[in-house]
Structure 1
C-alpha cells in the first residue's frame, strides 16, 4: 500500500492547525494529495417562541455560526496547503447528526489515510463513524500535540486479532520511515488463546522482510489495565506513534465497560493509528 490521498478532518480552529501540520507533513513525505473535510452538524435545539413555534431567530443564529466556522476552516486549510505546495481539494458537508456523519464517511472511503483530531466532547460519534464505517485507517492526533514530528519510533499494540493485523499492514507506509518498530503484547494470565505470542514473531519477520528494524516485547499487566500498560510502554519506549486495532469487541460493550480502544482515545499522549 502507498499513501497517495490523505483526508484531514477539521473540526474547529483549536485543533485544526496541528492536525493540518501532521497531514501536510505526511503528504510531503509520500507525495500525496490532501483532501480537507469538514462536517457541520446542525441539530437546532427545541427552543420555542411564546406562540409555541420554532424560534426562527435562534435557528438563523445557529446556521450563521456554522457558516462562519466553515469559512474560517476553509480559509485556514487553503492557506496552509498554499504554503506547503500540496495538491488539495476541499469538501464540507452540512446536515443533522446522521447525514453529516454519513457525508464524512463517504468522503473518507475514497482516501488512503484519514488524519483527525483526538475525539472530544460532542464529536465522538462523528469520528467513531469514520473509524468504524469508512474502511480506512485513521490517524488520531492528540490535543496536547504542539508540533508535528516524524514517526521514528513506532509501538504496535499486538493481540493476535484481525484488527491488529489490519492496523499493522495499513500502517506499513508509515513504518517504512521509522528507525525502530516494537511489536508489543500484553500477556494477561486469563488469555485463552496464545495467538499473540505465537504470531508476534511471525509478524516481526514479515515486517523485517520490508526492511524494517523490528523487535518484539511481551509484558505481564501485573493487575494494571491493559490500556495503562500500553500507555506506560509508549512512554518508556519514547514512541512517536502507536498503532493498534480498533475495538475487538462489540461497540456497545466497549462503550459500557470502557474498552482499551475507547480509554486510549480519551487519554492518548502520542498520535494513534487505528484500523477496523
Structure 2
C-alpha cells in the first residue's frame, strides 16, 4: 500500500492535538491530508410529546450546525496557512448513521488515523472506529496518547495468527513493512498443521514478506496464560517497535463488546501506534 492520502477525523469541540499530529505526519511524508469534522446531530423527537419539544430540537440542530460551520472555517483557515495539501469536509449525522458516514468518507483515503483526542470521545470515537474498520475497506491507525503516528516505521511488530484478518493487515501494510529496518513476525502459541500455522509456523508469511524486500524475523512466543494483547504489547516494548500491524475483530463486534478481546484491548491499552485492517 502506497500511502498518498490520510484521513483524520475530529469533533467540533475536540481534536486540535489530533489535527496537529496528522498535519505534522502529512507534512513530513509529503502526503495529502483529508480532514472530516463530525458533529453528532440530536435525534428528532418522536411520540406524543414531539410537537411540544420540536422547537427545542430545532434550536439544538441549528446550534450544532453553527458549531460545525465555525469549526470547518477555523480548520480551513489553519490549513491554508501551511504548505500541506489538504481538504476539509464536514458531516452532521445522527448517532445511528455516524459510522456509515465515516466509512464512506474513509473509502477515499489510503489510511484513517484515530488519535487520542478522538479515542477519548466515548460517543464519536466508537463510531469512527467502527465506521472506518467495517465500512471503508481501508486500514485504520490508532495512535494512543503520547505516541506519534508513522508511515515510515523503522521497527514493526506484525501480529500473525494465519487468519484472514492478519493476512489483510499484512497485505495492507506490505510497503511499510518492506521499508522498515526490522519486521518481527510474531506468533503467540502457534499451532502446527494445515488447520493452524503450517508445518513451520510463520515460515510462509516470512517468505512472502522477504520476497517483497522486508527484513523479517519470526518470533514464536508462549502466552504463559496471559492475554494475547498483553503479550503483544510487551513484545513491542522488547523489540522497540514503533508500529504494530495486526488484523482486527477476528470475532464478531457483539462478542468483542460483551466479553472483550484482543482488538478491544489493543484499542484501549496500546502504547505505540497500531495499524488495524480487516
TM range (shorter): 0.7 to 0.9
Is 1:108 equivalent to 2:106 in the alignment? yes
Q: For the residues of structure 1 that align with 2:95 and 2:260, how far apart are their CA atoms?
A: 24
| Per-residue deviation, residues 10-35 of structure 1 (Å, max 9, x unmatched) | 23665442454246424642x43221
**Partner of residue 140, structure 1:** 142
Relative to structure 1, is the Cα distance of residues 127 and 51 closer, same or farther in structure 2, using a 3 angstrom cutoff? closer
Q: CA deviation at 1:196?
A: 6.6
User: Which runs of 5 or more structure 2 residues have no equivalent in the other structure?
Assistant: none
Whole-Å separation in 2 of the counterparts to 1:105 and 1:217: 34
C-alpha contact 2:104 2:136 (8 A) present in aligned 1: yes
Matches within 5 A, 1:118-137: 118=116, 119-120=119-120, 121-123=122-124, 124-137=126-139
What is aligned with 2:2? 2
| Residue pairs, 1:63-74, within 5 angstroms | 63-65=62-64, 67-68=66-67, 71-72=70-71
- Structure 1 distance, partners of 2:91, 2:32, is 20
Q: Output the CA distance in 1 between the equivalents of 2:2 and 2:20.
A: 20
Indicate whether 1:53 and 2:55 are aligned: no
Distance 2:26 2:202 in 1: 27
Give the secondary structure class of the aligned counterpart of 1:122.
helix
In structure 2, the residue matched to 1:205 is: 207
Equivalent position of 2:187 in the other structure: 185
Distance 1:267 1:197 in 2: 33
Aligned runs of 1:1-276 on 2, under 5 Å?
1-11=1-11, 14-22=14-22, 24-26=24-26, 28-29=28-29, 31-44=30-43, 53-54=52-53, 56-57=55-56, 60-61=59-60, 63-65=62-64, 67-68=66-67, 71-72=70-71, 75-76=74-75, 78-80=77-79, 82-83=81-82, 85-118=83-116, 119-120=119-120, 121-123=122-124, 124-142=126-144, 144-145=145-146, 147=148, 151-187=153-189, 193-195=195-197, 198=200, 200-276=202-278
Question: Could you say what the CA RMSD is over the residues aligned between the two structures, in angstroms?
Answer: 3.1
Question: Counterparts of 2:200 and 2:72 in 1: how far apart (Å)?
Answer: 47
Say which is worse superposed, 107-116 or 196-205, in terms of deviation: 196-205
The total of aligned residue pairs comes to 272
In 2, Cα distance between equivalents of 1:225 and 1:115: 26
CA distance in 2, matches of 1:176, 1:16: 32
* Displacement after TM superposition at 1:93 (Å): 0.8
Pair 78,4 (structure 1): closer, same or farther in 2 beyond 3 Å: farther
In structure 1, the gaps of 5 or more residues are none
Q: What is the CA-CA distance between 1:176 and the residue it aligns to?
A: 3.4
- How far off its partner does 1:68 sit? 2.3
Contact 2:147–2:273 under 8 Å retained in 1: no
